[in-house]
């Protein structure tokens, strides 16, 4: 299966696709192709042969996204799922739609591998991006303004695995976060990287290229807060999509490119910058997607990222949500980086 071009792509939410007729999809595909879209990303299990055929008629490839440690959009719960537990020993409450799952349970991860194998075999795609490949945390809210996710997970099974790893017993969450914080961070990053390697083998066996979505914070914070070590993950992943939703996290073009540069400087992976094209409640619903998107500001942002793509700093950009009106890049004449003179 050929690797799809991701110079400009769009992420279509599966709930949107589920509500579309074939004609609806065809109309979107035609408009997207006219805007230069060459790939549509959506959940792997939402991709059907018909979906691919409609897109292919306009030269658009389908890219699959596979959720690892969140089942909010799944109709069933995989066996062995563990919900995040806080410092006080209580299960963490949901934030908006997010409740998350904890990496490391062998039963859950075996089931996850088999789920991916089945979905990848159902319909062939050239690329599969692993989503929610991280320790629990709703970064869209918790990582705003330099914030951090609630510490997790201190469930009995995870605590036992960590205790065995460092050869200590009777650990408390507070002791882990003070006396053993470096070992705890290493343990969590290694756990995420290990399952990524297993899932990448499945993806490659299906004839697709493996990639992963990354939280849009700098490497040290991403590793410590979410267990995502891009350098380690790049041993099995060849593409990273930074979820750089600029309205949610108040990111400038310069911020986004700094995140991309950091990854490309430390890995050989290609980097895609996801770009938020709307915060309208018509798409966000009741969830907080940040302030409204100004069309002129969005055009400047997209133009700067397009320029970076032409320069080779980015492998491409992805619009989110893809079903929202696509940005007009003709609103400005000269690309510029926000935050620069």
| C-alpha separations of 171 from 28, 153, 176, 180, 241 in Å | 54, 13, 7, 10, 36
Residue 328 has pLDDT above 80, yes or no: no
At 235-282, the pLDDT tens digits run: 999 999 999 999 999 999 999 999 999 999 999 899 999 999 999 999
Report angle CA 186, 190, 195 to the nearest 5 degrees. Answer: 160
At 199-247, the pLDDT tens digits run: 999 999 999 999 999 999 999 999 999 999 999 999 999 999 999 999 9
Asked if residue 177 is part of any domain, the answer here is no
Residue 94 has pLDDT above 90, yes or no: yes
Asked if residue 121 is part of any domain, the answer here is yes
Q: Has this prediction a pTM greater than 0.85? A: yes
Asked if residue 196 is part of any domain, the answer here is yes
At 295-310, the pLDDT tens digits run: 999 999 999 999 999 9
CATH of the domain at 13: 3.20.20.80
Element (H, E) at 265: helix 253-266
Asked if residue 134 is part of any domain, the answer here is yes
The band of 185, judged by pLDDT with boundaries at 50, 70 and 90, is very high
What distance in Å separates the CA atoms of residue 223 and residue 193, rounded to the nearest whole number?
Answer: 11
Asked if residue 2 is part of any domain, the answer here is no
Asked if residue 294 is part of any domain, the answer here is yes
pLDDT given at position 327 = 84
Domain range for 73: 8-83+94-144+191-331
Number of domains in the chain: 1
Average pLDDT rounded to a whole number, residues 79-107: 95
**Is the N-terminal amide bond of 153 cis, ω within 30° of 0?**
yes
Asked if residue 41 is part of any domain, the answer here is yes
Asked if residue 207 is part of any domain, the answer here is yes
Compute the mean pLDDT over every residue in the chain, rounded to the nearest whole number.
94
């Amino acid at each position: 299966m050929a690797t799809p071009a991701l110079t400009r792509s769009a992420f279509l939410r599966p709930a949107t696709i589920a509500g579309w007729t074939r004609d609806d999809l065809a109309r979107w595909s035609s408009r997207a192709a006219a805007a230069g879209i060459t790939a549509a990303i959506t959940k792997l299990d939402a991709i059907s042969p018909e979906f691919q055929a409609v897109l292919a008629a306009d030269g658009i490839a389908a890219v699959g996204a596979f959720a690892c440690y969140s089942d909010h959009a799944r109709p069933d719960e995989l066996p062995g799922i563990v919900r995040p537990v806080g410092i006080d020993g209580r299960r963490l409450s949901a934030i908006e739609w997010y409740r998350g799952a904890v990496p490391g349970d062998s039963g859950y991860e075996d089931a996850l591998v088999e789920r991916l194998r089945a979905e990848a075999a159902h319909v062939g795609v050239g690329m599969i991006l692993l989503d929610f490949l991280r320790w629990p945390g709703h970064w869209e809210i918790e990582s705003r303004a330099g914030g951090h996710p609630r510490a997790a997970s201190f469930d009995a099974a995870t605590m036992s695995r960590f205790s065995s790893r460092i050869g200590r017993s009777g650990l408390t969450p507070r002791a882990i976060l003070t006396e053993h914080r470096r070992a705890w961070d290493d343990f969590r990053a290694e756990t995420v990287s290990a399952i990524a390697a297993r899932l990448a083998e499945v993806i490659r066996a299906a004839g697709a290229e493996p990639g992963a979505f990354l939280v849009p914070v700098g490497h040290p914070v991403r590793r410590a807060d979410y267990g995502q070590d891009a350098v380690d993950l790049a041993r099995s992943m060849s593409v990273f999509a930074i979820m750089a939703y600029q309205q949610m996290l108040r990111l400038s073009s310069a911020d986004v490119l700094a995140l991309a540069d950091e990854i490309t400087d430390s890995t050989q992976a290609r980097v895609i910058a996801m770009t938020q094209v709307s915060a309208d409640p018509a798409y966000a619903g009741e969830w907080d997607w940040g302030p409204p998107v100004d069309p002129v500001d969005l055009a400047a942002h997209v133009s700067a990222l397009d320029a970076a793509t032409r320069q080779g700093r980015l492998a491409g950009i992805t619009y989110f949500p893809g079903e929202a009106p696509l940005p007009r890049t003709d609103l400005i004449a000269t690309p510029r980086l926000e935050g620069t003179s």
